[in-house]
Amino acid sequence: MRDLSTAAGPAAGVADGHRVGPQLRGTARALARAHDVLLLDLDGVVYAGPRALPGAADRLARCRQAGARLGYVTNNASRTPQAVAEQLLDLGVEASEEAVVTSAQAAARLLAERLPDGSRVLVVGGEGLVAALIEQGLEPVWSADDDPAAVAQGFHPSVGWAQLAEGAYALATGVVWVASNLDRTVPTERGTAPGNGTLVEALRTATGREPVVAGKPEPALFDEAIRRLGGRLPLVVGDRIDTDIAGARRSGLPSLLVLTGVSTLADVCTAQGEDRPDYVAPDLEGLLLEHPEVRRHGASFGCAGAIATIDGSTPSLVLAGAGAPAVLAGLRALVAACWVHDDPGSLDLGPATQTLHEMMAVAPRRSDARQ
């Protein structure tokens, strides 16, 4: 269904062959030109709460001009693709209903693959799940007395004890249980609130059952996205290591981590194994830039003139020039240096982080996508 080759070549190692897990990839072309489809997370990537992230709409428009098709792939099962697309349009981001793929759609697909057409499915969730089930030829119901063949569970603010109880009654009969995702929290304008993972835990505790999971970091959501959006060389773009990046790696897809949401510079510098992204950038401008190769010279790591050196427990970082390309090169050099350190969690990243933040504050935020 997808081509697992990469447009950017193999993962960059270090000059003396010392490698610890996956390393950053390099590309001489802007990512928006090297990949035909961008699978973008939403909250923390395109917007934060009710507002678009600074420059996001413009950068996504330039990605489209560079030739990439854009898909918006979200673990949030509460809303329909149409509702999500309308929000993006309100924020100045061009989007159609067909460009949005939700974990509710992935969950409905998993159920449709397991059940006869027209089967009744008990909904523990809201309109996002209902619409997805109907699209797959399944019948949503709201009571265990309706003899459902399965339970579909996804986040919605209206979910309470009554829906959870119906879910528990149905699960006690041994029917299939599919959860849209296991995110324990959701961001709201007033702060962090319980997410679908917290509600799934309530049913898990009540029934002793384990659900099949559709959303990130499981592969089903990315499979659904590629089925709907197509693409030979997709790139996952996200802000969360534990869902976006881990999910991309489990699905065999390359990924870009942007530092505009949940995961921090310290998180990516200390990431291990499947938690390591193929690319990292301060924000979506990274889609419009080349990602130069990182080379090791003894204790130093160089990238397009930027040099990161780890002496003891405190990495130092020297950037070459100014602007978004210089910041990206410095970030890549720093991450590569940390990834080959024996104990990256022990490093004091404060000085290097300060250097990057100071440069990010003054860097021009627009770059043309290069050939």
Is the backbone peptide bond immediately before 217 cis, with ω within 30 degrees of 0? yes
Residue 141 in contact with residue 121, Cβ under 8 Å?
yes
Residue 199 in contact with residue 153, Cβ under 8 Å?
yes
CA–CA distance, 7 with 87 (Å, rounded to integer): 32
Residue 22 in contact with residue 275, Cβ under 8 Å?
no
Residue 62 in contact with residue 369, Cβ under 8 Å?
yes
- Closest-CA residue to 350 (of 259, 269, 258, 239): 269
DSSP structure class, residue 210: -
- Distant-in-sequence, close-in-space partners of 22: CB < 8 Å, separation ≥ 6: 11, 249, 273, 276, 278
Tokens of 307: 């040099």
User: In 43-125, which residue ranges form alpha helices assigned H by DSSP?
Assistant: 56-65, 81-90, 103-112
Indicate which residues carry an active-site annotation: 41, 43
User: In the chain, which residue ranges form alpha helices assigned H by DSSP?
Assistant: 31-34, 56-65, 81-90, 103-112, 127-135, 161-171, 196-207, 220-229, 246-250, 265-269, 324-339, 350-362
Backbone angles phi, psi at 255, to 5 degrees: -140, 155
- Closest-CA residue to 287 (of 38, 5, 7): 38
